[in-house]
Amino acid sequence: MKRYLKLYVYFLRFSFSKAMEFRVDFTFKIVMDILYYTVNILFFKVLFLHTPLLAGWTEEQMMIFVSSYILVDAISMTVLSSNLWWLPFHINRGDLDYHLIRPVSPLFFLSLREFSASSFMNLLIAIGIFAYSLLSYSQDISAWNVLLLILLLINGTLIYYCCQMLMILPVFWTQSTKGFMDLFYSMGIAMERPDKIFKGWLRIVFTIFLPFALIASFPVRLFIEAFHWPTFFHLTAVSVSLWIIMLYFWRRGLRTYSSASS
Amino acid sequence: MKWWKHVAALELRKILAYRSDFWVTFLGQILIQILVARAFWQMIYDSQGVTTMKGYTLEMMNLNYLIIPIGTRILTGENIGFLAREVYDGTFTRYLLYPLSVFQYKTITYLTYSMFYVFQLILIYCLFRTFISSSPFMLADVGNLISGVLFFFVAAAVYGMMAILIEMISLWADNIWSLAVMLRFFVSFFGGGFIPLTFLPAWAQETLLWTPFPYLISLPVRTIMGLSNFAEVSKGVLILFIWILFFWGVVKMMLKKGSIDIRVLEYETLPKTLCLFPAFFVL
Amino acid sequence: MIQVKDLKKNFTSHVKEPGLKGSIKSLFSRETRTKEALKSVNLEIQQGEIIGLIGANGAGKTTLIKILAGIVHPTSGEASVMGFVPWERSNEYRRQMALIMGQKNQVWWDLPALDSFILLKEIYQIPDAQYKYNVEFLAETLMVKDQLKTQVRKLSLGERMKIELMAALLHNPKVIFLDEPTIGLDISAQKAVRVFLRQYQKEFKPITILTSHYMEDIKELCPRIVIIKEGEFVYDGSLKNVQRMMGDEKVLSVTTQEKTFKVNVPRMELAKKTHQIFEENEVLDLNIHDPSIEDIIESIMRSGVTPT
């Protein structure tokens, strides 16, 4: 464990020293993400021009939800995205070879190696938006509640990671994962909507099999509404099983990789 | 056979290269987007207890969100970061070797993708009309579909110009990928891809009329749905043509500026600079 | 010690007809084809030994090396490297093994070599003293002391290969797999790598398997060679003995007005053949000599003469 932390410190160091080289890129990325945040906030602001409540939430509650999924997005953009973006290419080109011969978990290495220093600013901005939405909330909130929300959102990031991995892993068998990756990005919209809109089988899909609704919506619901044990258990159970399933497919994928590569 | 037919066939083969990709893109993505949009608007209409919002019934809203993802693809082809990406991975040089202009080549690939998505739109249209009696596509008739698709192609020309402008920035910046994504955001939001433009405040709607955005997505989609009249469409097309001229001018200006900068560029960015030359040929 | 028994490896691939029609067809159904990359091979290598693995492109060299490095799972058969089954990829095994592929990079492109080394030190948990000694020793013998602080992508091909070698050997592996370590290098860089490998072998006594297209590499480094052809070993023995395989053959090098060519001729028929050549051609120059190792190996790889 300590060894992995130490390795991660090296990843951070390398990433920052590398990022200093591409400063223009830096600025573009910041502007892009600010635009993404603005468009998401605007979307709900415009809707609230026409309705007082959305999925049972008021505008300020909805802003907590929006800032929550923005936060999840920012964390995964900073910590994971550049790794996961390249992962299918690495697998497809057979670049995993060198990772497989090292006495260190290839999954750790491939998922966390590139810390996106250029997204780091955006993470700060997202944290700012998140804090602002909490501070401007008109009802009383306890520190415990805030802590729980933050923990659940970090868990949400893990769910997001697992979902993305599950869309990437088919590349071991199909050789191209562009379709699945695009599918993943379009499914991102399910994370950006309150879970209450999903009914019937669609609800089962988005809360159990592709649990995008658990990334931000469930945590925010536990935060805004009274704490609800069944919801919490649902969230925990799905998170844990998703993680196990992802690891299972990762191992199966590696096995396929090693029997197919030449 | 003309060269462009070969290029188009090659691009089509690329689309079909991986079958899982194909099926997922062809059906999966559209399905997810329409399902989420449906659920979302259903909830809004239900909780408000209304049947019409800002000129859209729930049924029309569903149709709107069914057309938008495909329409957006007709509009954008498959061009995000094309120059910059190919320069980066070194495949760009091949266009410099081909005895034809890179922009002609790229236009053909762009159009191939657009045509492919038109095919997809038609297929979905037929499927829905044949098998789902209460389908939202009952609202659209064939004439509307054709004029809407044609409109999308004019819009694609404008979008293509904007995309090229962004590609050119790759002369000065290393990675324009984020800019290209930004363009998509802008076009989607102000073009009515996220939310129908009628939901925006009146002042915003009026301001947008002077920009190209409403004519890129919103108006073509409304045309397919039969919600626009001839006057609106012809005005839209006219405004789009003015924008084409405008962007053309800007591209030319940037080329001039780019040629000055070529001398200061370092050796390492030389391959990138090369991508400007084919542009000189065209413009 | 490496022991390989009846190792087999098959690959399946999809066949696709050319043309748009084929593309559309493959959306619905596909044909598969199986290729035998390794057909039941056996091998035994002692500690401290260095062997050369020779074969044409696609003969199965890389596949064998990747199986022994644990990257590729064999279809059937057994292998044991110092008591480990390679494809189980236990951490203990991975800590004692190194793989260098001339065509793939392992050090980080955008960083100076030393940064990559520090990371490897952490990954392999190399003790400080050993790390310091190794960096010193390797940089000195490879003569790259001044390049360690430069971004790797700014180095020349030869320098980069030396850095790759350093990176792979920092943890003093007991087994080393070298897949074409000199590919694309100029003569002097090739030479430097060879000198280094010999020195390293002397100092640390690892098991080394080397593949190369350059006979020079093999001749200088490997007393023992294995020739592989279409997934089968056609020769396994000492490099010197390979000459005996051709028995009593001599080589005639002939230069005529039009062309230069070589003929292999059994010693008994030497006179007859020479006579015939003189009759049929206008000979400018004719040499009779023993076949070189290159000639022999090339002819084995081409025609697959099995040892007598």
DSSP 8-state code for residue A139: S
Provide the percentage of residues in chain A whose pLDDT is more than 70. Answer: 97
Indicate the residue of A103, A258, A262 with minimum beta-carbon distance to C87.
Answer: A258
Query: Letter for the amino acid at C199?
Result: Q
Nearest chain B alpha carbon to A39? B189
pLDDT at position B30 is: 83
CA-based R_g, chain B, Å: 20
C202 touches A: beta carbon within 8 Å? no
How many interface pairs between A and B have CB atoms less than 8 angstroms apart?
Answer: 113
- Chain C interface mutation, best of A6, A9, A96, A100, highest count of C Cβ atoms under 10 Å: A100
pLDDT at position C293 is: 73
Sheet with C76-81: list strands edge to edge.
C31-45, C2-15, C76-81
Indicate the residue of A3, A17, A97 with minimum beta-carbon distance to C104.
Answer: A97
C15 touches B: beta carbon within 8 Å? no
pLDDT at position B93 is: 60
SS3 content of chain B, % helix, strand, coil (to 5): 80, 0, 20
Q: Are A197 and B40 in contact (CB under 8 A)?
A: yes
Q: Is A262's pLDDT higher than 90? A: no
Indicate the residue of C72, C92, C104 with minimum beta-carbon distance to A98.
Answer: C104
Structurally, how many domains does chain A consist of? 1
Q: Does B12 contact C27 at a Cβ distance shorter than 8 Å?
A: no
Indicate the residue of B36, B39, B179 with minimum beta-carbon distance to A28.
Answer: B179
- Chain C interface mutation, best of B5, B10, B13, highest count of C Cβ atoms under 10 Å: B13
Q: What is the pTM of this model?
A: 0.83
Q: Is C308's pLDDT higher than 50? A: no
Q: Does A51 contact B47 at a Cβ distance shorter than 8 Å?
A: yes
Burial of C248: CB neighbours in 10 Å, binned 0-12, 13-18, 19+: exposed
CA-based R_g, chain C, Å: 23
Average pLDDT over residues C226-233: 89
Dist CA C239 CA C225 (whole Å): 6
Candidate from A114-128, C40-54, C223-237, C289-303 with smallest mean pLDDT: C289-303
C28 Cα to chain B: minimum distance (Å): 8
Sheet with C260-266: list strands edge to edge.
C260-266, C249-256, C283-289
Dist CA A186 CA A180 (whole Å): 10
Q: Is B246's pLDDT higher than 50? A: yes
Nearest chain A alpha carbon to C76? A259
Name the band, by pLDDT with cuts 50, 70 and 90, for residue C275.
Answer: confident
Q: Does A179 contact B199 at a Cβ distance shorter than 8 Å?
A: no
With beta carbons under 8 A apart, name residues in chain C contacting A21.
Answer: 110
How many interface pairs between B and C have CB atoms less than 8 angstroms apart?
Answer: 17
Residue C35, helix vs strand vs coil: strand
Quick: pLDDT tens for B96-125.
566 666 666 777 778 888 888 888 888 888
With beta carbons under 8 A apart, name residues in chain C contacting B22.
Answer: 27
Question: Any idea where the domains of chain B sit in the sequence?
Answer: 3-282
Average pLDDT over residues A113-119: 85
Q: Does A43 contact B33 at a Cβ distance shorter than 8 Å?
A: no
pLDDT at position B190 is: 93
Question: What are the CA-CA distances from residue C201 to residues B70, C20, C129, C175, C208 (Å)?
Answer: 63, 54, 21, 11, 8
Q: Are C166 and C122 in contact (CB under 8 A)?
A: no
C217 Cα to chain A: minimum distance (Å): 24
Residue C205, helix vs strand vs coil: coil
With beta carbons under 8 A apart, name residues in chain B contacting C110.
Answer: none
SS3 content of chain C, % helix, strand, coil (to 5): 40, 30, 30
Burial of B274: CB neighbours in 10 Å, binned 0-12, 13-18, 19+: middle
- Chain A interface mutation, best of C27, C34, C38, C71, highest count of A Cβ atoms under 10 Å: C71
Q: Is C252's pLDDT higher than 90? A: no
Q: Does B12 contact C23 at a Cβ distance shorter than 8 Å?
A: yes
Residue B216: partners with Cβ closer than 8 Å, 6 or more residues away: B75, B155, B158, B159, B187, B191
pLDDT at position B170 is: 64
pLDDT at position B273 is: 36
pLDDT at position B3 is: 72
pLDDT at position B88 is: 60
Dist CA C155 CA A222 (whole Å): 55
With beta carbons under 8 A apart, name residues in chain B contacting C20.
Answer: 9, 12-13, 16
Residues β-bridged to residue B2: none
Chain B residues within 8 A (CB-CB) of chain C? 9, 12-13, 16-17, 19, 22-23
pLDDT at position A144 is: 92
Query: Any idea how long chain C is?
Result: 308
A196 touches B: beta carbon within 8 Å? yes
Nearest chain A alpha carbon to C73? A259
CB atoms under 10 Å from CB of A30, counted, come to 18
With beta carbons under 8 A apart, name residues in chain B contacting A170.
Answer: 20
Indicate the residue of B22, B24, B44 with minimum beta-carbon distance to A54.
Answer: B44
Provide the percentage of residues in chain C whose pLDDT is more than 90. Answer: 27
Quick: pLDDT tens for B13-42.
877 777 777 888 778 888 888 899 999 999
pLDDT at position C214 is: 80
Q: Does B195 contact A47 at a Cβ distance shorter than 8 Å?
A: yes
CA-based R_g, chain A, Å: 19
Q: Is B82's pLDDT higher than 70? A: no
pLDDT at position B95 is: 61
Question: What are the CA-CA distances from residue C308 to residues A211, B41, C152, C241 (Å)?
Answer: 67, 82, 49, 11
Q: Which residue has the tokens 């003309």?
A: B2
C20 touches B: beta carbon within 8 Å? yes
Q: Which long-range contacts (CB under 8 A, 24 or more apart) does B89-96 make?
A: B90/B271, B92/B271, B92/B274, B92/B275, B93/B271, B93/B274, B95/B278, B96/B274, B96/B277, B96/B278
Name the band, by pLDDT with cuts 50, 70 and 90, for residue B138.
Answer: low
Q: Does A261 contact C111 at a Cβ distance shorter than 8 Å?
A: no
Q: Are A57 and A224 in contact (CB under 8 A)?
A: yes
Q: Does C20 contact B22 at a Cβ distance shorter than 8 Å?
A: no
B17 Cα to chain C: minimum distance (Å): 7
pLDDT at position A118 is: 78
Q: Is C304's pLDDT higher than 80? A: no
Name the band, by pLDDT with cuts 50, 70 and 90, for residue B267.
Answer: very low
Candidate from A144-158, A171-185, C43-57 with smallest mean pLDDT: A171-185
Quick: pLDDT tens for C94-123.
999 999 988 777 888 778 899 889 989 988
